[in-house]
Amino acid sequence: MANKRDLKKDINYVLGDIIEAVYVWELTNSQKPTKESEAIIDDAIATFDELIVRVNDRKVEDKKTHFKAINADLETKGRALIERINKLK
């Protein structure tokens, strides 16, 4: 992990791409949002908010370990959201 700015960019890009993928799915399938697709978008936004709050926490003693944990959480939560997109009907 290079720095805090890069971690924030990664969070923004990953979750932004997930939201964009849901919008593309909506356009190609039903032309209108479903409850499942809206839930994925809501969860992506909630995940974004949670991770950004954790990145901006200044009371952390071991920043390197803290940022690695945030990066790992981004990866696991991002994969879970992608799996949910792939299961949309």
Question: pLDDT, tens digit, for every residue of 66-84?
Answer: 999 999 999 999 999 999 9
pLDDT in tens, 33-45: 788 999 999 999 9
CA–CA gap between residue 86 and residue 88 (Å, rounded): 6
pLDDT in tens, 13-28: 999 999 999 999 988 8
Q: What is the pLDDT at residue 89? A: 74
Angle between helical axes of 63-86 and 35-55 (0-180°, round to 10): 170
Q: What is the pLDDT at residue 2? A: 59
Closest to 89 in 3D by CA, of 12, 44, 42, 28: 28
Task: Judge contact between 5 and 59, C-beta under 8 A.
Answer: no
Provide the mean pLDDT of the chain: 91
Closest to 80 in 3D by CA, of 26, 7, 14: 14
Domain count for the chain: 1
Range of the domain at 12: 4-86
